[in-house]
Amino acid sequence: MSSLFHSQSDYERLALLDQKHVWHPFTQMKQYNEESPLIIERGEGIRLFDLEGRSYFDGFSSVWLNVHGHNVPELNEALAAQMQRVAHSTLLGMANVPSIELAAQLAAISPAGLTKVFYSDSGATGVEIALKMAYQYWYNNGMPGKKSFITMKDAYHGDTIGAVSVGAIPLYHEVFRPLLFPSHTVPYPNGYRHPDGPDGAMAETLSALESLLQEHGAGIAALIVEPVVQGASGIIVMPEGCLSAIAGLCRRYDVLLIADEVATGFGRTGRMFACGHENVAPDLMIVGKGLTGGYLPVAATLATERVYNAFYADYEEQKTFFHGHSFTGNPLGCAVALESLRLMRERSIVESVDAKGHFVAQRLSPLLDRPHIGDIRYKGLMLGIELVANKRTKEPYHWNERIGVLVARRARDLGMLTRPLGNVIVFIPPLVSTDSELADMADILSEAVIDVTERGWRP
């Protein structure tokens, strides 16, 4: 394959340039530069290959994006076909073909009522749009006082300043606090960490939310939530019924519900959207990551007619939504997204996810007897393994031990890539992974965890 044409000196040249010029996201560069970088050269199916031709399972879907695997002929062809027509033209005051087709399809597969599609280019920008829409919705309706937001403890909604303002992961967000607008926070129900388990966690969330709404509802524009699975906080799965109860409270207190489906959308949790588990119909919904099958940066914020109509007026009324991005509605990305959705239908991908998730959990279940496995939780193909220093007391590993990083490092040596969230090992494989591939990846995961937590493996 093409990697044979890369010599050792190619690797060294690129590694040097990487170190010299690339500033990597969410990465302490001093630490990164102490090791030889992993440089990916190509992908095939659910595997990635580095410059030296070593193969790795993509055990985290290249950060939770990938649906159909890499280098997929159908997606490549859709991209090439669109490229022959036009790579980009703007949606500012005009339209292009693939973005229209895609908007209609998104409206058709989304929870009831979400008929309007506003495009952007990342999850974070999609969140910004939802926040601004929610705020201006009330403003345009003559209620500018409804301007604050409710978020959930340990929420992650992206890294732009608005998204960080409704973010609640202290490690990422605290330093920026002086730049942010304040938000209200209610607990996300974490059954493993709550003294009264999932039921207690859910009761606590709902009662905190209800008191907050009673006291401050008149000043609140919207609640934003990662539905059913809170991802970046460590793959926390909501108890059943919690999302619909949250939605009910928002309705009752006249607060918009924003569902951030950036991670959970497009089949990841076993439904097209996680809201579908409980038939929840949000007022605004953000999608990204898997929208293009993980190929290209396209995101979208979907809105109901009710939200849209608050902006629909004569120009002089000044109710326009003044927001947009250079690449809003990019035709290449939209064409690939359309083909990705077609493949999902043709291959019944969403329908296969529940069974695959159960299969993986079953394969990993012997781990539950090991001394440092606190919890294994999952919904569909979104799975987290929480490692603990002490299983009985659930005492976490000290962050300084970087236990998750060590396990991911060991998994890489064993042939699988993933990236931890603190002490939680993440397993989010491409949705097309076969049972035999899932079994191989789960076995690598088990071995890596045991090597690091019991056998003292260190790089």
Which of 43, 59, 111, 158: binder of ligand PLP (CB under 6 A)? 158
Alpha-carbon distance of 412 to 380, in angstroms, equals 23
Say whether residue 277 binds ligand PLP (CB under 6 A): no
Rounded to a whole number of angstroms, the minimum distance from the CB of residue 435 to ligand PLP is 26
Rounded to a whole number of angstroms, the minimum distance from the CB of residue 398 to ligand PLP is 26
Rounded to a whole number of angstroms, the minimum distance from the CB of residue 177 to ligand PLP is 19
Alpha-carbon distance of 361 to 369, in angstroms, equals 14
Rounded to a whole number of angstroms, the minimum distance from the CB of residue 312 to ligand PLP is 28
Rounded to a whole number of angstroms, the minimum distance from the CB of residue 229 to ligand PLP is 9
Considering CB under 6 A, how many residues would be counted as binding ligand PLP? 15
Say whether residue 263 binds ligand PLP (CB under 6 A): yes
Span from 155-163, 268-276, 396-404, 418-426 in contact with ligand PLP (CB under 6 A): 155-163
Backbone dihedral region of 380: left (phi > 0), alpha (psi from -120 to 50 degrees) or beta?
left
Say whether residue 432 binds ligand PLP (CB under 6 A): no
Alpha-carbon distance of 373 to 386, in angstroms, equals 6
Alpha-carbon distance of 229 to 209, in angstroms, equals 18
CA distances from 202 to 42, 191, 194, 199 (A): 44, 8, 9, 5
Residue corresponding to tokens 């970046």: 232
Which of 231, 282, 333, 357: binder of ligand PLP (CB under 6 A)? 231
Say whether residue 339 binds ligand PLP (CB under 6 A): no
Span from 104-112, 122-130, 205-213, 337-345 in contact with ligand PLP (CB under 6 A): 122-130
Span from 71-79, 116-124, 333-341, 440-448 in contact with ligand PLP (CB under 6 A): 116-124
Please identify, using beta-carbon distances, which residue of 156 and 397 lies nearer to ligand PLP: 156
Rounded to a whole number of angstroms, the minimum distance from the CB of residue 353 to ligand PLP is 17
Which of 47, 70, 157, 268: binder of ligand PLP (CB under 6 A)? 157
Say whether residue 288 binds ligand PLP (CB under 6 A): yes
- For the record, the structure tokens of 183 come out as 């938000």
Please identify, using beta-carbon distances, which residue of 269 and 446 lies nearer to ligand PLP: 269
Which of 260, 375, 437, 451: binder of ligand PLP (CB under 6 A)? 260
Please identify, using beta-carbon distances, which residue of 33 and 160 lies nearer to ligand PLP: 160
Which of 118, 156, 327, 397: binder of ligand PLP (CB under 6 A)? 156
- Candidates 328, 335, 250, 245; CA nearest to 284 is 250
CA distances from 267 to 78, 156, 418 (A): 21, 20, 20
The residue count for the chain: 459
Alpha-carbon distance of 218 to 145, in angstroms, equals 7
Please identify, using beta-carbon distances, which residue of 430 and 451 lies nearer to ligand PLP: 430
Which of 262, 274, 408, 416: binder of ligand PLP (CB under 6 A)? 262
Residue corresponding to tokens 């090992």: 425
Span from 110-118, 156-164, 269-277, 323-331 in contact with ligand PLP (CB under 6 A): 156-164
Please identify, using beta-carbon distances, which residue of 5 and 26 lies nearer to ligand PLP: 26
Please identify, using beta-carbon distances, which residue of 98 and 265 lies nearer to ligand PLP: 265
CB-based contact 398:388 (threshold 8 Å): no
Helix H or strand E segment including 410: helix 403-413
- Candidates 350, 357, 354, 352; CA nearest to 442 is 357
Say whether residue 226 binds ligand PLP (CB under 6 A): yes
Say whether residue 124 binds ligand PLP (CB under 6 A): yes
User: H helices of 120-184, where?
Assistant: 123-140, 161-165, 170-173
Q: Is 408 helix (H, G, I), strand (E, B) or coil?
A: helix
Rounded to a whole number of angstroms, the minimum distance from the CB of residue 315 to ligand PLP is 32
Say whether residue 294 binds ligand PLP (CB under 6 A): no
Q: What is the DSSP letter of 175?
A: G
Find the residue with minimal CB distance to ligand PLP. Answer: 123
CA distances from 408 to 55, 264, 427 (A): 15, 22, 10
CB-based contact 405:447 (threshold 8 Å): no
Say whether residue 266 binds ligand PLP (CB under 6 A): no
Q: Which long-range contacts (CB under 8 A, 24 or more apart) does 199-205 make?
A: 199/239, 201/239, 202/238, 202/239, 202/241, 202/242, 202/245, 205/152, 205/242, 205/246
Helix H or strand E segment including 114: strand 114-120
Say whether residue 380 binds ligand PLP (CB under 6 A): no
Which of 61, 82, 120, 122: binder of ligand PLP (CB under 6 A)? 122
Q: Which residues contact ligand PLP (rule: CB under 6 A)?
A: 122-124, 127, 156-158, 226, 231-232, 260, 262-263, 288-289
